[in-house]
Amino acid sequence: MKNLKLSLVCAVLLSGMSTYAIDGNEDFNLHVLKSNGSLITFALNKVTKANLAIYDQDGTLIYSENASGKDGILRTFSLEEFPEGTYFLEVEDNVKKVRHEITINNGTSVLSTKAVSSTYKADFSAKDSSVAVR
């Protein structure tokens, strides 16, 4: 009976770890927490300072803020004033810039969980280095 209980506990722990690993992604660990009508809520794990910006499809900046948090950043945006269409949430820290798509249709806002683009910045130590191209 003890072996059965121990097996069940191990199975639950392992399934919990694999669920977390599937939920995480390589881009700032941005997690979409809620999408309720025109509200979107997301969290940036392990990011203490970042610039958040929302652009329209033509690349026009609509909103920008410097966000910070002790253990991460949690934000909720109300997009009720935005017309239907496609927008982009851009998250930038000192290492990289990541863009996620926001789609607004029939009063419902959807933030993509996967990044549509990710750009790493050059390390400061790369300033005086040479790059060979073949």
Is 39 inside any structural domain? yes
Residue 60 DSSP SS3: coil
pLDDT in tens, 110-126: 999 888 988 888 765 55
Closest CA relative to residue 69, chosen from 91, 87, 54, 88: 91
Q: How many domains does the chain have?
A: 1
Can you read off the two tokens belonging to residue 109? 């806002």
pLDDT digits (tens, 9 = 90+) for 6-63: 444 444 444 333 333 334 444 466 888 877 788 999 998 888 899 999 999 999 999 9
Is residue 133 domain-resident?
Answer: no
pLDDT at 27: 45
> Which structural domain range is residue 50 located in?
26-124
Considering the entire predicted model, what is its pTM?
0.69
pLDDT at 131: 56
Inter-residue long-range contacts of 77-81, CB under 8 Å, 24+ positions, other chains counted: 77/39, 77/40, 77/41, 78/38, 78/39, 79/38, 79/39, 79/40, 79/104, 79/109, 80/37, 80/38, 80/107
In CATH, what number is assigned to the domain containing residue 74?
2.60.40.1930
